[in-house]
Amino acid sequence: MCSSDLANYTGFSTPNYHDYKVEACFDYSDSLVLVGSPLGKLVVFDLINEKIAQEVSHSLLGPVVSLTSHSSRDRVATAAGNVVTIFDNN
């Protein structure tokens, strides 16, 4: 058990956020934290300064509850409802 938090990433602006279980992961470079959002977005946090670096809308209105990052490329797959979207930053 950890005695203290390493970092806290905040910025979601919906009171119903606690109603969803969403996933988070690091990007391929381990410099960003990628988080699903109940507002249908992929939220990208800068690992060091703990601020939102980018918000990307998913193709479906609804919570982004699952995501995974490619291990060696700047790509991430997100899932919301029955839609999977792959984002490529190249």
pTM for this one? 0.78
Find, among 12, 10, 17, 5, the residue nearest to 50 by Cα.
10
Find, among 29, 72, 30, 74, the residue nearest to 56 by Cα.
74
Average pLDDT, the chain: 80
DSSP-derived pairing of the beta strands 41-46 and 32-36: antiparallel
Q: What is the pLDDT of residue 39?
A: 82
Mind listing the pLDDT tens digit for each residue in 65-84?
889 999 998 899 998 888 88
* Phi, psi (rounded to 5 degrees) for 11: 145, -5
Tell me how crowded residue 13 is: count the other CB atoms within 10 A of its CB.
8
* Phi, psi (rounded to 5 degrees) for 17: -60, -35
Give the distance, in angstroms, between the CA of residue 87 and the centroid of all CA atoms in the same chain.
Answer: 12
User: Which residue has better confidence, 27 or 6?
Assistant: 27
